Amino acid sequence: MRKYHALPVALLAALALTACQDGTGTKDEGAAHPDPASATVTATHPAEDGVGGKGTSGATGTQGTSGATVAEGTSGATGTQPTKGDKSPKGDRAAKGATATRVSCNGSNTTVTAQPVRRPLNHLLLTVKNTGSKMCDLTYYPVLRFDEMQWVPRPIKDSKPQAVTTLAPGESGYAGVSLSAADGSGEWGTTSHKLTVGFQGRTPNSDGGPSALPTLPAKGVYYDSTLTVTYWLRDMDDALTY
């Protein structure tokens, strides 16, 4: 009987001990799990708060810094972006503004006069005055046509300026016209009473806009086959050098 009773007691003691150990294990595991779980929540939520500027963890710090960067503009990237944002549009506007204020000089925004001069002999001085409100460019050389002539006078290549002659409002540009050979070697000499001055555009021989019809002297001007013209120049003396 003692052996019979001893076995259940021992068995019960073992079961009780196992139950006690299992219970302790459950309690220990239960105590262990809440801490990491709460740590996970703590690490996650501040990271979300860090976008608003509170985070202190590595991930939070990154997001918080990004948030601060956008708001305060203190990072290197932010320092670069505002610079581009500030300068590029201004540069574009400046370029467009410069282009907008430059137009071609032609018969619509200038007055043109044609005046014979004493020196050099057989020369005519063309004067173009900018009467518009914008700067204008006198490109290349004038395209001349006396009466109904069917050929275009040659430009004097040596007179080509280093830069385009640009006129501010009120300024004048010049071109000299060599009408005939001083030694009489020219051919097909004739007297003209009408002159048309054509303007070129941004490319050679392109249309630069309306022509001008300067008044010639009542007696007209004499020209022959040696008729030539200078490029548009800023200085009157330079225009009469050739």
Indicate the SS3 state at residue 126.
strand
pLDDT value of position 100: 57
Considering only CA atoms, which of 182, 140, 199 is closest in space to residue 165?
A: 140
pLDDT value of position 184: 87
pLDDT value of position 200: 97
* 2 pLDDT more than 80: no
| Bridge partners, 195 (sequence order) | 146
pLDDT value of position 102: 87
Is the pTM higher than 0.85? The answer reads no
* 24 pLDDT more than 50: no
Percentage of the chain beyond pLDDT 90 is 56
pLDDT value of position 87: 43
List all residues 6 or more positions away from 123 whose beta carbon is below 8 Å from its beta carbon.
116, 117, 176, 177, 178, 179, 240
- Residue 160 token pair: 């080509």
pLDDT value of position 236: 97
Confidence tier at 44 by pLDDT (50, 70, 90): very low
User: What's the whole-number mean pLDDT along residues 25-33?
Assistant: 40
Per the prediction, the chain carries an average pLDDT of 73
